[in-house]
Chains A and B, each alone.
Chain A
Amino acid sequence: MSTIQVQSPGMFTTVQDLGRYGYGPLGVSPSGAGDPLALRVGNLLVGNLESAAALEMTLLGGTFVFPEGAIVALAGADFSATVDGSPLAPWTACELSPGATLRTGGAQSGARCYLCVRGGIEVKPLLGSASTHILTGLGGFAGRPLKRGDVLRIGRSAGTPRVIRPAELAKLAPRKILRATDGPQTGWFSRASLDRFFGGAYQVTGESNRMGLRLEGPALETPHSGQMISEGVSLGAIQVPAGGKPIILFVEQQTTGGYPKIANVISADLPSIGQLRPRDEIRFEHVEPAAARALIRQQEEFLISGALFQ
């Protein structure tokens, strides 16, 4: 059994896969990778199924020792990684010899980097997923971010590593202009608020995490003082509580909520949210549901076409 020893965990590193679906009636949100595109591509690079569990590092990465060696790839934001002192390019599968040390630094841009290992990170699945749900301490590795001294098990895999085509990868680059459709309460907002929302720039604040991203920018009038009957909320919903500062609900979102939602980030742009960091400036561009549907289908077709790989 191969292992990973955590020499330093980095700022906030958790085990994530593509999330836990079907437990909405019990209040369980899917969780999973903040940038699932990066996780999926990283897994394919090392020859895993795209849904395998990996380590999600946030803003500042960790240092990991591989006593038995491994095949690894880093995907997502560039965390200036080195292996035993030599640079390791992101989006590249690399065979580590036994005892190798992989060190990652701070994010050059973006927020999240996935350390994918051939065979995947092996943890006991909880409700069908390896994802960590931080708020409740469920799933992943002991339900918490990694700590120094943790030892993770690497699973088995028979897949073949692949090589990326950088020019094709650029087509999946994270966006700072997030496209959004109407939300359930868009019609409650005044024309002026909608114009401010879609015309203005918002800054991601430090009070942002896997549950949601709080934004600072043109204040919006909160219709009905933000009071409404609680209802199910979607991933990427942009809710406007009293005070008028929008919040984007993210992967570890609450499953229901009682604030009006002005818009909803489209499926194709949800992975981009996972690469936003505090002080990033973002904008919203309105699209119709039919356009959103076409965009996610294009993205998915591109991903499964194999065009990304040599």
Chain B
Amino acid sequence: MTRFCYASDQSLLVYLGEEVNLETHRRVLKLLRLLEAEPIPGVRNLHPAYHSILIVFDPVRQEHENIERTVAACIRRLDSIALPEPRLVEIPVIYDGPDLNDVASIHQTTPERVIELHSSAEYVVYFVGFVPGFAYLGGLPQELATPRLESPRQRVPKGSVAIGGSHTGVYPFETPGGWRLIGRTTLEIFDPEREELSRLVIGDRVRFVPVA
């Protein structure tokens, strides 16, 4: 179930499963922790995602074959690695997003019910990607899965809490985006001046807490 793919002349993709699920996520997280604890010389960056890690290396010093061999050995050790108990991060949300009513009507329910469902679930950060601090959260109640906007917004305000397909997340910066905005948080998700750069990191458990 492990697959390697040359993504470019300076990167190797390691697939640890073929679909999005928690078991694969845990393997991604374990491999990431192992590669962080025992860095491979010449590796410049790691991009974990749902079912894969992209390993970016210096093509002058390293080659795919070498990285692949080392990573394959790491993967054989994954079962013996215990992940620490994930921490729980609570995100205060003011549920007043411009798309809250649309999301409710798409699901033929009330905004209050959308808020109740969204804030009663527990989510997991599958990975952080796209832009700094943007956490891809799994665990959205099936009843809330909502298609993305047909035409994405040019500017989604920083701190927006949104639903896109079967995912939910928080926009840490003002960026373009096609997810439906149901609320906002004043929590600074990504702050380079803080020791904890990103409030949300891969593996975290997350709850949204409604505030007035």
Binding site for B on A (CB under 8 A): 21-28, 30, 126-127, 133, 135-139, 181-184, 229-237, 254-257, 261, 264-267, 289, 292-293, 296-297, 300
- Give the shortest distance, in Å, between B109 (CB) and chain A (any CB): 27
In angstroms, how far is the closest chain A Cβ from the Cβ of B61?
10
Q: Fill in one digit per residue for B147-179: 1 if any A CB lies within 8 Å of its CB, else 0.
A: 000000000000000000000000011010000
* Given A256-B47, A297-B60, A264 and B129 contact (CB-CB distance below 8 Å): no
With A27-B128, A234-B11, A256-B127 given, is the CB distance from A22 to B50 under 8 Å? no
Using known A-B contacts A237-B7, A289-B6, determine if residue A21 contacts B13 with beta carbons closer than 8 Å: no
Q: Is the CB of B47 within 8 A of A136?
A: no
User: Given that A229-B19, A229-B50 are contacting pairs, would A135 and B8 also be in contact in the complex, using a CB cutoff of 8 Å?
Assistant: no
CB-defined contacts of B130 to chain A, threshold 8 Å = 27, 254-257
> In the complex, which residue of chain B has the Cβ closest to the Cβ of A261?
B7
Q: A23 — which chain B residues lie within 8 A by C-beta? A: 45, 132, 197
- Give Cα A264–Cα B64 distance, bound, in whole angstroms: 15
A22 CB contacts on chain B under 8 angstroms: 44-45
In the assembled complex, the CB of B35 is this many whole angstroms from the nearest CB of chain A, namely 10
A109, B46: Cα distance in complex, Å: 35
Contacts of B36 in A (CB 8 A): 25
Which residues of the partner chain A approach B60 to less than 8 Å between Cβ atoms? 296-297, 300
- Chain B residues lying within 8 Å of A297, measured Cβ to Cβ, are 59-60
Q: Give the complex CA separation of A51 and B172 in angstroms.
A: 29
Known: A25-B202, A256-B130, A297-B60. A136 touches B190 (CB 8 A): yes
Alpha-carbon distance A183/B173, docked complex (angstroms): 29
Q: Are A135 and B131 in contact (CB under 8 A)?
A: yes
Supplied contacts A25-B46, A233-B54, A234-B54, 14 more A-B pairs, CB within 8 Å: A21-B44, A23-B45, A23-B132, A24-B47, A27-B131, A136-B173, A229-B50, A230-B136, A234-B10, A235-B56, A254-B129, A254-B130, A264-B7, A293-B9
Find out whether the CB atom of A231 lies under 8 angstroms from the CB atom of B59.
Answer: no
On chain B, the residues within 8 Å of A230 by CB distance are 49-50, 129, 136
| Cα distance A181–B53 in the bound complex, in angstroms | 19
> Is A26 in contact with B198, judged by CB distance below 8 angstroms?
yes
Judged by a CB distance under 8 angstroms, whether B51 is at the interface is: yes
Q: Is the CB of A267 within 8 A of B128?
A: no
A21 cross-chain contacts in B, Cβ below 8 A: 44-45
Taken together as a complex, chains A and B put the C-alpha atoms of A135 and B10 apart, in Å, by 25
B41 vs chain A, min Cβ distance (A)? 14
* B59 A293 Cβ-Cβ under 8 A: yes
CB distance B8 to A264 under 8 Å?
yes
Max chain A CB contacts within 10 Å: which of B7, B60, B197? B7
Listed from nearest, the 8 A-B pairs whose CB atoms lie closest are: A232-B54, A232-B47, A256-B129, A292-B9, A264-B8, A234-B8, A24-B45, A24-B47
- Nearest-Cβ distance from residue A230 to partner chain B, whole angstroms: 5
CA distance A267 to B13 in the complex (A): 16
Nearest residue (CB) in B for A30 is B45
- Which residues on the A side are within 8 Å of B6 (C-beta)? 181-182, 184, 289
Which A residues touch B198, using CB under 8 A?
26-27
Distance A63 CA – B192 CA, assembled complex (angstroms): 31
B173, A232: Cβ atoms under 8 Å? no
Cα distance A135–B53 in the bound complex, in angstroms: 24
Are B56's CB and A137's CB within 8 A? no
Give the contacts of B166-205 with A (CB-CB under 8 A): 172-173, 175, 190, 192, 197-198, 201-202
B167 to chain A: closest residue by CB: A230
B132 touches A26 (CB 8 A): yes
CB distance from A266 to the nearest CB of B (A): 5
Residues of A within 8 A of B208 (CB): none
The interface residues of chain A lying within 8 Å CB-to-CB of B32 are 25
Tell me how far the C-beta of A174 lies from the nearest C-beta in chain B, rounded to whole angstroms. Answer: 18
Kindly state whether residue B83 has any CB partner on chain A within 8 Å. Answer: no
Task: Name the contact of B129 in the complex, choosing from A27, A182, A234, A289 (C-beta under 8 A).
Answer: A27
Q: How far, in whole Å, are A236 and B9 apart by their CA atoms in the complex?
A: 10
B128 engages A25 (CB within 8 Å): yes
Q: Which residues of A contact B47 (CB under 8 A)?
A: 24-25, 231-233, 255-256
